[in-house]
Amino acid sequence: MVIFVSKRAIDAVFEGFFLLTDIRVMLRETAPKHDLDENQREKVRSLLDALEKDVAVLREELA
Amino acid sequence: MKCAGTIDVRDIDESSINIDPIQVGGRLTADAMKAIIAYGDGYSVCDQCRKPFRLDYIKTPPVDHFHLDLASFVNMDIARVVPGARRGFQAVADAFISPGDPVLITALSHYTEVLAIEGRAGVIREIPKTESTIITADLAANKIEEVTREFHRSPVLLFLDHFDYQYGNCHDLGGIIKVAHQYDIPVLYNGAYTVGIMPVDGKNMGADFVVGSGHKSMAAPAPSGMLATTSEWAGRVFRTTGVKTDVTARTFGIKEIGMMGCTLMGVTLIGMMASFPHVRERVNHWERELANGRKVVDALRSIEGTIIQSEYPRKHTLTRVDTTGSFDRVAQTHKKRGFFFSSALKERGIAGIIPGATKVWKFNTYGMTSSQAEYLAAAFRDIARENGLIVTD
């Protein structure tokens, strides 16, 4: 079966990478203990929310 | 965890405070990481390459503007991206040095400057350093006189490192360039440890060439860098091809010989470009970086028997330290011998020191946060105390 992946899905893949990159950078900024302050925690939560939306887009496109 | 096959994930900067002297200024910005995800394929910046088919003419992505920005960034007339500072040295050496020509470097010059000259069969002469490991204008003047007597002509080029890689010491740039120009010697400013981390003004300092390193100080992947010059020298170092082949009668447009045509055609260039807005801004915060460095240097100085070999107070975040009288003394009787020190650092999440090094070593605090600098300073003190060394507050 051939699955035609949409532009929407491609964008979601890249956006997902970029969101994870922002989390990666936060790991760098807080190394080695990764004691995040409340602002940083809120930022990570927000990034994860956005990431979940991208994953949802990919699931929709796959369906 | 593996990236692929037998290649481990590299998470040193995610899991540790990295103080490797050559790595910290080249760590990617978030934007560079994102850009290289999209541009990882080979000739990825060449999708929209059109006539005259040269890198610095590409409009999408805006490689053309980036070249202008680079020249402006170091206040020179024209700039090119190169695969590492060393290829910048080589391009200038190729344009200026003929076999047998005398060429000046300093006692603290990087080895790649030596190789660039050696590749042209130039004759290397070194400006010595003072006892305090500084290159001065007086020493430069004396050496130029000495070389001129020896060769009956002036050196054809001077390679000058603003801050050297061994001590991170600041040398008398303005004075040395002024002296060199009195003898009509063009000066190549090696900014591998400055361009991208502190303000650099090429014309103001009188440099004929400014070379920077993308992977050392411009938050870019390796190998990347830049070479900038004045309109006076651009035609020589960036000369274009004029050849016509004999059988096929081919010509090659405006490809630049010294650049070997196009230089950075993919991930290296896009990484440099994506980081550039951040790099341009971060050079304005050099004092903050020095303040972080001071926290760590002062902690080391508080440990009995430790000597800062670099000039003090520090003017750079790269520092050379001699712990023969402190941590190496501990190593003599410690069950882990010399590895106790790197092991103790690793336990605290600090990386970048060569395992086993307890005598003379270098570190670089560039790019760390204030709290990371405080953590690092406390870690050095704690390791010293735990091992019976006296630490003064």
CATH of domain B2-25+285-386: 3.90.1150.10
Pairing relationship of beta strands B225-229 and B78-82 according to DSSP bridges: antiparallel
Provide the pLDDT for residue B393: 78
In this prediction, residues B279-289 reach a mean pLDDT of 98
Provide the pLDDT for residue B152: 98
Question: Has residue B170 got a pLDDT over 70?
Answer: yes
Query: Do the Cβ atoms of B120 and B90 come closer than 8 Å?
Result: no
In this prediction, residues B269-294 reach a mean pLDDT of 98
- Position B360, amino acid: V
Structure tokens at B252: 């090659």
Structure tokens at A1: 């079966």
Provide the pLDDT for residue A63: 87
Q: How far is Cα of residue B381 from the mean position of the Cα atoms in its chain?
A: 30
Omega before residue B221 within 30° of 0, cis: no
Question: Has residue A2 got a pLDDT over 80?
Answer: no
In percent, the amount of chain B with pLDDT more than 90 equals: 100
In this prediction, residues B81-93 reach a mean pLDDT of 98
Contact with chain A for residue B372, Cβ under 8 A: yes
In this prediction, residues B69-95 reach a mean pLDDT of 98
Q: Which of A21, A30, A36, A37 to mutate to test the interface with B (most CBs of B within 10 A)?
A: A21
In this prediction, residues B77-98 reach a mean pLDDT of 98
Contact with chain B for residue A1, Cβ under 8 A: no
Contact with chain B for residue A24, Cβ under 8 A: yes
Question: What's the Cα-to-Cα distance from B74 to each of A17, B1, B212, B276, rounded to whole Å?
Answer: 33, 41, 9, 13
b (16+ CB within 10 A) / e for B359-372: eebbbbbbbbeeeb
- Position B342, amino acid: S
Domain spanning B43-265, CATH class: alpha beta
What residues pair up with B106 in beta bridges, in sequence order? B127
Sorted by where each begins, the domain ranges of chain B are: 2-25+285-386, 43-265
Provide the pLDDT for residue A58: 95
Distance CA B130, CA B110 (A): 18
Question: Has residue B137 got a pLDDT over 70?
Answer: yes
Provide the pLDDT confidence category of residue B94 given band limits of 50, 70 and 90: very high
Structure tokens at B170: 């600041």
Question: Which residues in chain A touch residue B29, judged by CB atoms under 8 angstroms apart?
Answer: 25
Contact with chain A for residue B30, Cβ under 8 A: yes
pLDDT in tens, A8-55: 999 999 999 999 999 999 999 999 999 999 999 999 999 999 999 999
Contact with chain A for residue B349, Cβ under 8 A: yes
Count of CA atoms in the C-beta half-sphere (13 A) of B206? 17
CB-based burial label for B271 (10 Å; 0-12, 13-18, 19+) = buried
Q: Which of B9, B10, B12, B33 to mutate to test the interface with A (most CBs of A within 10 A)?
A: B33
Which residue in chain A is spatially nearest to B368 when comparing CA positions? A29
- Position B13, amino acid: D
Please tell me whether residue B132 adopts helix, strand or coil conformation: coil
What is the least distance, in Å, from the CA of B375 to any CA of chain A?
A: 9
What is the least distance, in Å, from the CA of A32 to any CA of chain B?
A: 5
Pairing relationship of beta strands B102-106 and B123-127 according to DSSP bridges: parallel
Provide the pLDDT confidence category of residue A3 given band limits of 50, 70 and 90: low
CA angle in degrees (0–180, nearest 5) for B224-B239-B276: 30
pLDDT in tens, B188-244: 999 999 999 999 999 999 999 999 999 999 999 999 999 999 999 999 999 999 999
In percent, the amount of chain B with pLDDT more than 70 equals: 100
Distance CA A10, CA B372 (A): 37
Question: What's the Cα-to-Cα distance from B372 to each of B18, B49, B366, B376, rounded to whole Å?
Answer: 10, 44, 11, 6
Contact with chain A for residue B79, Cβ under 8 A: no
Contact with chain B for residue A23, Cβ under 8 A: no
Please tell me whether residue B105 adopts helix, strand or coil conformation: strand
Q: Which of A14, A15, A19, A25 to mutate to test the interface with B (most CBs of B within 10 A)?
A: A25
